[in-house]
Amino acid sequence: MQNVTPAAPVSAGSGPERPPPGELLRRLRQRHATDPITHVERVPPRAGIAVPWPTWAPEDLRAAYARRGVTAPWRHQAEAAGLAYDRQHVVVATGTASGKSLAYQLPALSTLLADPRATVLYLAPTKALAADQLRAVATLEIEGVRPSCYDGDTPRAEREWIRRHSRFVLTNPDMLHHGILPGHAQWSGFLRRLAYVVVDECHVYRGVFGSHVAHVLRRLRRQCARYRPATGDPGPTFVLASATSGDPADAAGRLTGLPVTAVTEDTSPRAGVTFALWEPPLLPPDPAAIPSPRPAPAGSAPSGSAPSGSAPDGSSSGSSPSGGRPSGGPAHEAADLTQVRRSALRETADLLADTVASGVRTLAFVRSRRGAEVVATSTRRSLDEAVPGLGDRVAAYRGGYLREERRELERALLHGDLLGLASTNALELGVDLIGLDAVLICGYPGTRASLWQQAGRAGRSGQEALAVLIARDDPLDTYLVHHPEAVFGAPVEATVLDPANAYVLGPQLACAAAEAPLTDADLALFGDGAKDTVAALVEAGALRQRPTGWYWRHRERPEVDLRGDGGAPVCVVEAATGRLLGTVDGGSAHFLLHSGAVYLHQGVSYVVDSLDLDDGCALVHPEEPDWSTHARDVTSLSVVSVRSYVDAGPVGLFLGEVDVTSQVVSYQRRRIATGEVIDTRPLDLPARELRTVAVWFTLSPESLATAGVDPADVPGGLHAAEHAAIGLLPLVATCDRWDIGGLSTAVHPDTEAPTVFVYDGHPGGAGFAERAYGMASSWLRATRDAIAECGCEHGCPSCVQSPKCGNGNNPLSKPDAIRVLDVVLANLPE
């Protein structure tokens, strides 16, 4: 437990004058004997460029904005708004707090004022963002607009009124998919007059989720066309808002299926930001952790599965050094290494306590739900020890909370009742958090776009701000904090999505047919592969072909999960009272809610009594054990087909379909204080099967022998290279480490050679493996550099250990991983 020393007398209801970012950073870095800061980047302030209001903007609307302090738009706002008002599809891709909301509000509200029958549909990826935008539109007090949220939290008694009377409906893709489109007849009037569709934070729609949303938008366009008179009406205009990203026009075009113009020059003013890269210090060597090399196992070395077979947010039931899934195993309970870095979760909690004690309003982004709870709980405890009651001004915010809890936390943050908040990326998106002074980012969030979105939460009212990226003990984070040019000098990634993915296209065509029979004209709307996919659905008995089109054959609607989370949410219920505590997505339930798992909710600890997957319910009881729980799984993989390959002599590079089978088989209990493994307990949970896309490379045994890799060390070298390659893939693809999985083996039965596989963790693939295949040389070069530049001797979590290894991080050989990658890079063409 840290000691918190407030910078000035502080009480639970007030705080000292906040220090400027440079002074605050100086105080924070003094907590360690060695300087944890590897780089400080000063992002200079920027003046804004304002332009006059467009002549078409009604005077009433200008006056409404003036009452909110907006006297003129910035140039990029006016440019995007003008394109939209001229009925051109547009995406505005500018920085955080650049006023993208006005770019779509201005043409939409102007049209609603000019045409009393017109309507607007707004889509946000999160409920928090939709609620924030509702507040923003409502405070303009435009007569006759009647803005309303329509989502899963909307009481049923209000839904009919919204359908009939609201002209500005705010919702999310999930409700559009599950509620509005299936009930399109009830929305016929709204869809007939729909003038604008606003897609906010569209860079979030990537991978499988983005591919699903792309077809939901096509289904929306289809229904709009059905209810409009056949007079050449082009349908609603799409206005998209995105964080700065690579090629936003192309990504927006693939998302909507329409030609889209991009506005990318940010002309808003920006306060200066001090951005620090922070590497937690090494912990003192543990004399009990003695290296214990063992013979390599005869089989393969999986690194655990990705979201369809693991917790997609990387959460575990306790705080491990890498903040993710455990690296130990039943037969490998002693660490292979003598020194590891301090946990990023603990470091973030200490920094959050220090900033709150200094009166600095701070938002800490944490990768997992469990991690957000751990950081908030630890911070509260530290603050209450220093100043009783100050801990009450810190809370956690994450998905899975009930609606009332979320709204109260948002209100408390907006009104300053909270000084510190530990949040998952639920608050990354454009929620207007006025007056935040600092942002702590616990672990690289997976993409540069997300990194800058999170950093941009601070300084939103114009003041100087501080952002700190706290590195986790893993290859990518370690690489980035020692290569600041990869953070500050590299372009933001392009958004990856693949609407042609057959595992997405088929279910979406089934949904479209259930809404209204499909016609030949409809198939062109859904793009390449639609005709073949419909034929496959007919053959499978899902659709029936008639002269008038293809009809859905079943009474029940297709069950399609947009977010690919692996099933319906599982309810967490307190057994003694029947109280609903929250929910966990189906894909994570095997890891987070198995029998015996420790579950945290708002700082209160519970232990799971039972998990009923059929009923989607986990029963828990309150308990404060001195141990945490860590689920473990096993994985196998087989090659189905090869799409493309590169023959590079002794090295082969492949892209193709694979079948992955994974199963959670046990969990460890570990002492919270020491990390000591108490025991490993078996679990009886069903296996999960996944057909997906993988990239893999093979090497000839002769090339490895020539490079100096002893046959006995081949498994360890491949395994270590695989771990590092998975960790570095987000550097070249817009994925998260938990979106992908891997497996390595000295001889795979399908390749008959030493092989390393890296696969997408979603059915049908998410486009990440294709990106890795196309950039294999750059990706593997960065992987090799990350391993070679790490200062450890035998390998550590910063280079080759994986927090989600299903094989206990054994065997691993850092020197042989470098030799393996040298062979690949020497033969693979650039």
* Residue scoring higher pLDDT (421 or 497): 421
> H or E element: which one contains 440?
strand 438-442
| 78 or 605: which leads in pLDDT | 78
Rounded to the nearest 5°, which phi and psi values hold at 604? Answer: -100, 135
pLDDT band at 289 (very low <50, low <70, confident <90, very high): very low
pLDDT of residue 568: 73
Select the more confidently predicted residue: 653 or 31: 653
Q: Give the three-state DSSP class for 473.
A: coil
pLDDT at residue 434, rounded to an integer: 60
Kindly report which listed range (172-186, 189-203, 282-296) carries the lowest average pLDDT score.
282-296
> What band does 564 get if pLDDT is binned at 50, 70 and 90?
low
pLDDT at 200: 94
Q: Report the candidate in 10, 18, 783, 21 with the shortest Cα–Cα distance to residue 439.
A: 21
Confidence of residue 41 (pLDDT cuts 50, 70, 90): very high
| Kind and range of the H or E run holding 422 | strand 420-423
In this prediction, residues 37-60 reach a mean pLDDT of 95
The region of weakest confidence among 28-42, 198-212, 333-347 is: 333-347
Structure confidence at residue 87 (pLDDT): 96
Helix (H, G, I), strand (E, B) or coil at 691: strand
The stretch 324-345 carries a mean pLDDT of: 48
Kindly report the number of other CB atoms within 10 A of residue 404's CB atom: 9
Top pLDDT among 95 and 326 is at 95
- Helix (H) / strand (E) element for 717: namely helix 714-728
The mean pLDDT of 160-170, rounded to a whole number, is: 96
- What's the pLDDT band for 311 if we cut at 50, 70, 90? very low
Q: With 90 as the cut, is the pLDDT of residue 447 above it?
A: no
Give 143-154 as a DSSP string. TTT-EEE-STTS
Percent of the chain with pLDDT over 90: 57
Q: Residue 395's beta-bridge partner residues?
A: 421
Cβ–Cβ under 8 Å, residues 131 and 104: no
Bridge-based pairing of strands 651-671 and 688-699 is: antiparallel
Cβ contact 663:688 at 8 Å: yes
- Give the residue with greater pLDDT, 641 vs 734: 641
Give pLDDT, residue 633. Answer: 83
* Stretch 304-323: mean pLDDT: 32
Average model confidence (pLDDT) across the chain: 86
Q: What pLDDT does residue 535 have?
A: 95
The pLDDT of residue 492: 76
pLDDT (average), residues 318-335: 30
Tokens of 507: 């279910």
Residue 120's nearest CA partner among 75, 82, 156, 166 is 166
Could you tell me how many residues make up the chain?
A: 830
Task: Find the mean pLDDT for residues 508-537.
Answer: 94
- What is the pTM assigned to this prediction? 0.76
Tell me the HSE value of 68 on the side-chain side, using a 13 A CA sphere. 17
The torsion angle over the Cα atoms of residues 750, 755, 758 and 763, rounded to 10 degrees, is 10
Between CA 692 and CA 82 the distance in angstroms is: 43
Instruction: Inform me whether the pLDDT recorded for 613 exceeds 70.
Output: yes
616: left (phi over 0), alpha (psi -120 to 50) or beta: left
* Digit-coded pLDDT (tens) for 628-647: 898 888 889 999 999 999 99
Residue 284 confidence (pLDDT) above 90? no
Q: Check pLDDT > 50 for residue 8.
A: no
Residue 347's pLDDT is: 95
712: amino acid identity, one letter: A
Across-strand partners of 669? Answer: 629, 679
For 55-98, strand residue ranges (E) read 90-93
Per-residue pLDDT of 366-378, as tens digits, reads 988 888 999 999 9
Look at residue 6 and tell me whether its pLDDT is greater than 70: no
pLDDT for the residue 563: 79
